[in-house]
């Protein structure tokens, strides 16, 4: 029945344990969505998951531990960057996805960001997730270069992506401005114009001091 090559002398990750983990993580998301990151409490999660407080404390230690697990789980669902046929279209679509995730009520994304200030571990998990996503998105820039939309001169993909997406996060998360339906497109377009003007060309990296 079990694979004889894999000896499991110690850990016991299946059955009840796995079920408890699933219940608890579901409960965390539900609580986050319902009460925001503020209302996320060990007690509440345990109760909603139908599990004893002590269990949650033992396995996840604190709220930060719960969030790490949730964030890591979010990183495991596979996500593909948009592919619309043009850089501007791709960035706009990407920004629209971002805007939606930040604007939807309740926003798990915002709750995770807010909550990741609570715990160093959660912050690191969050950082890892974002690094992955931005790395995945670099293909947008590569495709644009192949299509000839950007000069063959290599472009700093990451900077371009940050420039395109940062205004959304800034407006919606930090400045808490009302969502602007045109913002995704305008931010994307701004980045494309800047790229066309050579703002992200790698050659610029060599200091041309002010």
Partner DNA sequence: GGCCTAGAGCGACAACTGTCGCGTTAAGAT
Partner DNA sequence: ATCTTAACGCGACAGTTGTCGCTCTAGGCC
**What 8-state DSSP symbol labels residue 170?**
I
d(C-alpha 167, C-alpha 163), whole Å: 7
The answer to whether 33 contacts its own copies (rule: CB under 8 A) is: no
Given a contact cutoff of 8 angstroms between Cβ atoms, the answer to whether 88 and 194 are in contact is no
DSSP classification of residue 178:
P
CB neighbour list of residue 196: distance below 8 Å, 6 or more residues apart:
150
Q: Kind and range of the H or E element at 47?
A: helix 42-49
Asked whether position 182 contacts DNA by CB under 7 A, the answer is: no
Residue from 43, 100, 120, 132 binding DNA (CB under 7 A): 43
Interface with DNA: number of residues (CB under 7 A) = 29
By the rule CB under 7 A, 58 interacts with DNA: yes
Residue 196 within binding range of its own copies, rule CB under 8 A: yes
Member of 17, 54, 127, 136 binding its own copies (CB under 8 A): 127
Backbone phi and psi for residue 67, each to the nearest 5 degrees, phi listed first: -65, -40
**The token pair that represents 88 in the structure block:** 């501007």
Residue 16 interacting with DNA (CB under 7 A): yes
Identified binder of DNA from the candidate list 9, 78, 176, 206, rule CB under 7 A: 9
Those residues with Cβ within 8 angstroms of residue 184's Cβ, 6 or more apart along the chain or in another chain: 92, 95, 96, 98, 99, 168
20 binds, among DNA, its own copies, none (CB under 5 to 8 A by kind): DNA
Contacts for 60 with CB less than 8 Å, ≥ 6 apart: 24, 66, 69
Pick one of 22, 54, 151, 203: the residue that binds DNA (CB under 7 A). 54
40 sits near its own copies (criterion: CB under 8 A): no
Rounded Cα–Cα distance for residues 164 and 94 (Å)? 9
- Asked whether position 62 contacts DNA by CB under 7 A, the answer is yes
- Would you tell me which residues interact with its own copies (CB under 8 A)? 37-38, 88-89, 92, 113-114, 117-118, 123, 126-127, 130-131, 159, 162-163, 165-167, 169-171, 173-176, 182, 185-187, 189-191, 193-194, 196-200, 204-205, 207, 210
- Would you tell me which residues interact with DNA (CB under 7 A)? 2, 6-17, 20-21, 41-43, 50-55, 57-59, 61-62
């Amino acid at each position: 029945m079990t694979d004889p090559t894999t000896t499991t002398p110690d850990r016991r990750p299946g059955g009840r344990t796995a079920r408890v983990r699933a219940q608890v993580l579901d409960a965390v998301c539900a609580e986050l969505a319902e009460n925001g990151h503020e209302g996320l409490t060990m007690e509440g999660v345990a109760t909603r998951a139908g599990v004893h407080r002590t269990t949650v404390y033992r396995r996840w230690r604190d709220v930060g531990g719960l969030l790490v697990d949730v964030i890591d789980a979010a990183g495991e669902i596979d996500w593909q960057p948009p592919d619309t046929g043009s850089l501007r279209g791709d960035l706009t679509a990407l920004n629209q996805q971002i805007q939606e995730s930040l604007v939807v009520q309740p926003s798990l994304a915002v709750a995770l960001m807010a909550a990741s200030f609570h715990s160093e571990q959660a912050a690191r998990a969050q950082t890892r997730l974002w690094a992955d996503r931005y790395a995945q998105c670099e293909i947008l820039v590569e495709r644009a270069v192949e299509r000839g939309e950007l000069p063959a001169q290599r472009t700093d993909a990451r900077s371009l992506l940050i420039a395109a997406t940062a205004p959304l996060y800034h407006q919606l998360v930090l400045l808490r401005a009302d969502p602007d339906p045109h913002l995704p497109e305008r931010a994307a377009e701004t980045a494309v114009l800047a790229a066309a003007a050579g703002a992200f060309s790698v050659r610029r990296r060599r200091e041309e001091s002010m």
